Amino acid sequence: MNKVSPETEREIRRRKTFAIISHPDAGKTTITEKLLLFGNAIHMAGVVKAKRGHFATSDWMEIEKQRGISVASSVMQFSYADHEFNLLDTPGHQDFSEDTYRVLTAVDSALMVIDSAKGIETQTKKLFQVCRDRHLPIITFMNKLDREGRDPFELIDEVEKVLQLPCFTMTWPVGSGGRFKGVYDLMEKKMRLFAAGQKTLKFTQEVFTDLEDPILCEKVGQEWIDKLKSDLELLQGAGHDFDQERFLKGELSPVFFGSAVNNFGVQELLEAFIRYAPSPRPRPAASRLVDPEEAPFTGLIFKIQANMDPRHRDRCAFLRICSGEFIQGMTVYHVRHARDFKINNALQFMSQERKNIDRAYAGDIIGIHDRGTLMIGDTLTMGEELKFAGIPQFSPDLFCRVELKNPIKIKQLRKGLEQLAEEGTSQIFHRMHNSETIIGVVGPLQLEVVKFRLLNEYGADAVFPPMGYTVSCWYHSKNKNKMDDFKSYYHSHIVYDVREYPMMLFKSDWEKQYIEEKNPEIKFYSSLLNYEEELHGTD
């Protein structure tokens, strides 16, 4: 292996690339904001909030500002304590789970935020499952301790039972709600006292190393000190040492308690990422494992976003650098197109700002302005025929016709649909014998976003009458006659995607099962990866 220089190696090793996952409202935006505050990427808390029409640093799009939800993931880079962090935001809403899958292919670890009053919620479970499939190391943050919450033992127990994720408590809360006193740091053996309303970095924290300290006792109350001592005994009873190896395999999660809105416990998270979370890790490609410290640059496009800046109608491809170093102006090899191309406009994202970069390293996420050459899943190298694995695409379950209120805007509609489909926001289908366009999405909110963006970004006012299908699959048979018979018998159920792959639409799971049983020679696939494997296996 041709290794990078010692300077580049140092740069790569001081990078931490992670995503935050949580159920909506658990506090992801608030934590993001505080992390950026510590990273000096913003200077005042309160600018990230999407809620109530505030300006949103991490939520780009107009619809997010209006609805107060995070529908597409964004990327932010910041420095802290001689480390470079790439923080990827993920949409909490289930209709955007595909975007989340893609983001999680680009990170090396994740922060799981849990509302301590609510515990594990549906979306936490789903997002966690994606992390588990990828064996991502997870740090857990129990948030909102300043509110009356559930018993911390019960919370830990829930994570261990429901997610089957053993926990290692790094900090332990003393009280909650109006009686929240602070947290005890089990690693450093210190008690940090809680103070509400910390909005900037200029805050002092009272720290006590001796639980017998009379001043601590006066501030917290003897009964709480006694309770802490008995909790600690119980914790030590459960005690196993923190096992870094198990954490790195995604089998053990360090857990922290705090209150993001009060800036309490967030800095400890950053320290934990530095101490425990992995630097860029090797990445599987179809032919081999690619080490981040290999000298030739390689990268994976995991996300496309059109119109990030409405003033400049642009299309940006997000690239995770998988190995080596990127230098602005470099000529790279586009494996899918088998063509070289020069990148001289690569961007770095600092919350809302983006700026041109000179250099970036394995682990970094950079943006490339692009008119349509780059697609999700593309690999860029310095000439090697390499294909990074793991960007999934799933079959949609909501299908609608696309109709225009004002037919003059047909060109704008086509362009908009095409670009939004390239972003992965939706999938576009057509029928064999007519020009009808069909849109497929994984949930109604996604459809709303497409409608809104078509109107706002492309001036096309579209409506989407539903077609009544709820399940879809790509299908294939090695027997060509069977394929032809199937096609002529079910022609009204069949649509074609942008690659001209045939897809069968079903009105219900029951109908799917019935048709599957009637046609044992036809195989059905809800994952594009599996379908393509079968297809190419028959070539």
146 touching ligand G4P, by CB under 6 A: yes
Smaller CB separation from ligand G4P, 24 or 443: 24
* C-alpha distance from residue 453 to each of 81, 102, 407, 425 (Å): 39, 21, 17, 11
Q: Which SS3 state, helix, strand or coil, does residue 505 take?
A: strand
Across the strands, what pairs with 437?
A: 430
Smaller CB separation from ligand G4P, 50 or 301: 50
Residue 411: φ, ψ to 5°:
-65, -45
- For tokens 């059109």, name the residue: 306
Smaller CB separation from ligand G4P, 121 or 461: 121
Minimum separation from the CB atom of position 253 to ligand G4P (A): 18
534 touching ligand G4P, by CB under 6 A: no
Minimum separation from the CB atom of position 407 to ligand G4P (A): 39
String of contacts with ligand G4P for each residue 67-106, x by CB under 6 A: -------------------------x--------------
String of contacts with ligand G4P for each residue 15-54, x by CB under 6 A: -------x-xxxxxxx------------------x-xx--
CA–CA dist 27, 320 (Å, integer)? 26
Smaller CB separation from ligand G4P, 64 or 378: 64
171 touching ligand G4P, by CB under 6 A: no
Minimum separation from the CB atom of position 198 to ligand G4P (A): 11
CA–CA dist 340, 334 (Å, integer)? 6
Tokens of 2: 């041709």
Minimum separation from the CB atom of position 123 to ligand G4P (A): 10
140 touching ligand G4P, by CB under 6 A: no
Give per-residue burial for 9-45: e unless 16+ CB within 10 Å, then b: bebbbbbbbbbbbbbbbbbbbbbbbbbbbbbebbeeb
Contact 301/373 with Cβ under 8 angstroms? Answer: no
User: Of the ranges 143-151, 304-312, 380-388, 420-428, which one interacts with ligand G4P (CB under 6 A)?
Assistant: 143-151
Cα dihedral 170, 154, 91, 196, rounded to 10, equals: -60
Smaller CB separation from ligand G4P, 51 or 190: 51
Q: Which of residues 183-222 bind ligand G4P (CB under 6 A)?
A: none
**What is the CB neighbour count within 10 angstroms for residue 287?**
11
**What element of type H or E holds 415?**
helix 410-423
Minimum separation from the CB atom of position 59 to ligand G4P (A): 9
Strands 427-430 and 437-441: antiparallel
Minimum separation from the CB atom of position 98 to ligand G4P (A): 19
> Interface with ligand G4P by CB under 6 A: which residues?
22, 24-30, 49, 51-52, 92, 143-144, 146-147, 259-262
